[in-house]
Amino acid sequence: MLQPLWFLGRESRHFQLDKPIVEDFLAHIDHPYKGVREAMGSTLATIYRTRYHESYKNVDTLIETQKAASSIGTPPYVPSEDFRNTIHEIFERIEKWRQQRPNGQQAPSSYTSGSKTVLLWLDSALSSYECTQLLEYFPDIFMEAFLHMMDVKEDPELQSLAYHVFRHLPNIPHRAGEDEKLVDALIRIGLTARSWHQRLRVMINMQIIYFRRLFLLSVENQQKLINCVGSMLGDSQHEVRAGAATTLSGMIRCSPVDRRESMVASMLERFTKSLKDNPLPKKPKTTLSGLSSARTTGTNTPTPEQQRLVIVRHGAVLGLGALIQAFPYASPPPSWMPKALITLSSKAANDPGIVGSSVKSIISDFKKTRQDTWHIDVKARFPFLYDLVIPNLLTTYQAFEPDQIEDLSGVLWKSYFA
């Protein structure tokens, strides 16, 4: 059975009776055998690739049509109405199968098998020159479908294949101004998806589209992506907050200098204000029953307000850390960096749990990356703090008071600033 499929894949350019074969393939995309699914996916991609053509009655018509369209001509590989209907029908069927599949089902299902066939087809199409034919389906159909496929932990093959195809999406070239729907879809999923795994995974594509299209994205879309990632620092899930901090750091690092300075200034003010406006409540006294508070022992269940406070403060700490880590090897460090470090040490270093540990990790990483230039960096940037913040220091090599040094100590109380 497989040999005729491979033959069709090779000879489809000259084959004219493709319609009944395509209909038969699409009716059986949930075939249980892996080899058949692979052959069908590859053959479908080849058939659709070779069916597409653009024809004009003469050269003059071709030239005039391209001139009238735009300075770079008409968009290539515009999908036909039949192709649009096929894509919508297939993904509606896949969604129906997903709803019918019980959670935790170990055995293969129509959903898992059909999804693999479609992913193999799209993988081949997205790796070829006709990839732009699929652009209009990225925001509303492909992304959420692929994210659901990655949530099927009972089928590692489906997860891996869906992740592989999902990573293709931001690499496909868009014409200038045609990427706004994709950016809006990324933001919508990042801020509203119920599954934190989906919110975390969508940041992968946010990074890629921002880096690859840095000079093609409009300033408005760039700012929308940065604002979205900044908002995700307040996500309820720790892993999402950590991923947002890493993503934000990379975005700042690669942004144009003229925009980067204003971004850093506004974010520094925002995260500093967040820490000041949401202070940690004072440590309550020991109760009569002899039990300590949840803040000190963790034995009591935190209230919703306590959980909110931890999330807000942790997001602010990670935000300041992202700013610091965006310039790991800048020597001397930017003039705003000492203020950010002082804010972390004075406002959050003594917080219990993940907030305090995040502060110490940020400070220790800052010092570790500056082992070779630390003596230069301290002299170059930190002296102004001696008159404004710490007037009583006896040495010109320390930017913090002794008790602050202890708060920022690393493992086994060994100080990185001593």
Beta strands in 150-242 (DSSP E): none
Instruction: Parse the chain into domains and list their residue ranges.
Output: 1-52+78-99+109-173, 175-254, 256-279+304-418
Please check the confidence at residue 242 and state whether its pLDDT lies above 70: yes
Please check the confidence at residue 407 and state whether its pLDDT lies above 60: no
**Distance of alpha carbon 23 from alpha carbon 89, whole angstroms:** 12
pLDDT at residue 75, as a whole number:
84
pLDDT at residue 35, as a whole number:
92
> Is 270 or 334 the better-scoring residue by pLDDT?
270
Region 369-377: what's the mean pLDDT? 75
> Is 310 or 405 the better-scoring residue by pLDDT?
310
The angle that helices 337-347 and 304-325 make with each other, rounded to 10 degrees, is 150
Region 95-100: what's the mean pLDDT? 94
pLDDT at residue 73, as a whole number:
84
Please check the confidence at residue 215 and state whether its pLDDT lies above 70: yes
pLDDT at residue 418, as a whole number:
44
Please check the confidence at residue 11 and state whether its pLDDT lies above 60: no
Q: Is 111 exposed, middle or buried (0-12, 13-18, 19+ CB in 10 A)?
A: buried
Task: Give Cα separations from 322 to 53, 70, 227, 336 (angstroms).
Answer: 49, 42, 14, 13
pLDDT digits (tens, 9 = 90+) for 173-211: 888 888 899 999 999 999 999 999 999 999 999 999 999
Region 361-386: what's the mean pLDDT? 70
**Distance of alpha carbon 41 from alpha carbon 44, whole angstroms:** 5
Q: H or E segment at 363?
A: helix 353-368
pLDDT digits (tens, 9 = 90+) for 31-55: 999 999 999 999 999 888 888 878 8
Banded model confidence at residue 408, pLDDT cuts 50, 70, 90: very low
Find tokens 């110490």 and name the residue.
Answer: 360
**Distance of alpha carbon 206 from alpha carbon 203, whole angstroms:** 5
Considering only CA atoms, which of 312, 321, 318 is closest in space to residue 363?
321
> Is 220 or 412 the better-scoring residue by pLDDT?
220
Share of the chain above pLDDT 90, in %: 48
Q: Which amino acid is at 357?
A: S
The residues near 309 (Cβ < 8 Å, ≥ 6 apart) are 278, 280, 281
End-to-end alpha carbon distance in the chain? 73
Please check the confidence at residue 390 and state whether its pLDDT lies above 50: no
**Distance of alpha carbon 407 from alpha carbon 347, whole angstroms:** 11
